[in-house]
Homo-oligomer: A and B are copies of this chain.
């Protein structure tokens, strides 16, 4: 297996990402193609005792798509960037999957442009694993690929999310819920009430509406679907709330020696919390609905996080996910696209 890793455009230096790529490549016995500035990659490989050519390869690219670049313009104008060149390698079949911690919008636009859509799935969705109190992750799709959705797109997200949960995660008969602002049918806005009707009419294991506060507390479903705007708000609110709560605790802790001692004794509990909510261990978010295995890693990814993102891609390749999603087509057509 051969996975392409874009080492440019994340928040960390390419060297950190090369380090993560080497570690996961050795651990999983997979080839890694590093896309980006060849000199930076080469010196990072050397630093970690590797040379290009055996398990680790370099795809030299002269351009970098920045986090704040306009996605569509970047895709059009930066043809020699690691994102575009990497996706072209995937499209040509030279690699089995593409992983990037870069500009999410550019990865989505570049994937649509370079790989194209799965037939019958007009809009892609980004799926992310969320920690829950039960200890088992749940999956939210879409967290930002498609910010103006039709109800049919949410049905496709449900189909793709369920396929992923079954084939890649190994959940035998995954359930799906609809992110909504109330529990009963009929609640919500026009888009969501329509999506409810469509989902109810499928043969999916649809458990109905799921409210935002339930997702990580009760884990009401294996997969939760939302339009990309709402899913992204939900994801970022979780990140922000966790960070605010730990921020408030830290502030109070600093204020007294007693609480400082308490915090020291509670070190394990805080460690558990950090690990429960850590995106480093959770890795990347698959972009589903495009023709190829694409995994978007967090912009803040360090070596460990980028390694788990590559591992997510590896599991998708091993599960033959691309073929299984392509076979959704007749069902997808059935619900209109």
A181-B147, A244-B133 known; A70-B186 Cβ under 8 A: yes
CA distance A211 to B238 in the complex (A): 12
Residues of B within 8 A of A189 (CB): 147-148, 227, 229
B residues within 8 A CB of A70?
A: 186
Complex: A319 Cα to B15 Cα, angstroms: 59
Q: Which of B182, B214, B252, B277 meets A269, CB within 8 Å?
A: B252
Instruction: Scan A216-252; emit 1 where CB is below 8 A from any B CB, else 0.
Output: 1100000000011110111011111111111111011
B residues in contact with A261, CB < 8 Å: 262, 265
**A197-219, CB < 8 A from B:** 211-217
Q: Is the CB of B240 within 8 A of A214?
A: yes
Q: Is A213 touching B229 in the complex (CB atoms < 8 A)?
A: no
Given A230-B233, A233-B233, A262-B262, A216 and B244 contact (CB-CB distance below 8 Å): yes
Quote the shortest CB–CB distance from A265 to chain B (angstroms): 3
Interface residues of A, count at CB 8 A? 67
Q: Are B273 and A249 in contact (CB under 8 A)?
A: yes
Q: Which residues of chain B are within 8 angstroms of A214 by Cβ–Cβ distance?
A: 240
Select which of B228, B258, B262, B276 is within 8 A of A263 by beta carbon.
B262
CB atoms of B258 and A272 under 8 A apart: no
Instruction: Encode A131-160 as 1/0 by CB contact (under 8 A) with B.
Output: 011000000000010011000000000000
- Asked if A32 CB lies within 8 Å of chain B CBs, one says no
Looking at the complex, which one of B188, B217, B252, B273 makes contact with A272 (CB distance below 8 Å)? B252
Shortest Cβ distance from residue A106 to the other chain B in the assembled complex, whole angstroms:
12
Produce 1/0 per residue, A65-82, CB < 8 A to B.
000101000000000000
A179 in the interface (beta carbon within 8 A): yes
Residues of B within 8 A of A55 (CB): none
- Does any Cβ of B come within 8 Å of A51's Cβ? no
| B268 and A144 contacting across the interface, CB-CB below 8 Å | no
**Beta-carbon contacts under 8 Å, A246-300 to B:** 246-249, 251-253, 255-256, 258-259, 261-270, 272-273, 276-277
Q: Is A334 an interface residue (CB 8 A)?
A: no
- Cβ 8 A contact of A273, one of B144, B212, B245, B265: B245
Q: B241, A245: Cβ atoms under 8 Å?
A: yes
Choice from B186, B212, B268, B277 contacting A240 with Cβ under 8 Å: B212
- One of B179, B181, B239, B244 near A144 (C-beta < 8 A): B181
Residues of chain B with a CB closer than 8 A to A216's CB:
240-241, 244
Q: List 22 A-B residue pairs with CB atoms under 8 Å apart, sorted by A's residue number.
A: A133-B244, A144-B181, A147-B181, A148-B189, A181-B228, A181-B232, A212-B232, A212-B237, A213-B243, A215-B240, A216-B240, A217-B243, A237-B237, A245-B273, A248-B276, A252-B266, A253-B269, A255-B269, A259-B266, A261-B265, A262-B264, A263-B266
Binding site for B on A (CB under 8 A): 68, 70, 105, 132-133, 144, 147-148, 179, 181-184, 186, 188-190, 192, 211-217, 227-230, 232-234, 236-249, 251-253, 255-256, 258-259, 261-270, 272-273, 276-277
A-B complex: 9 closest residue pairs judged by Cβ atoms: A262-B265, A213-B240, A241-B241, A252-B269, A262-B266, A212-B236, A237-B237, A147-B189, A252-B272
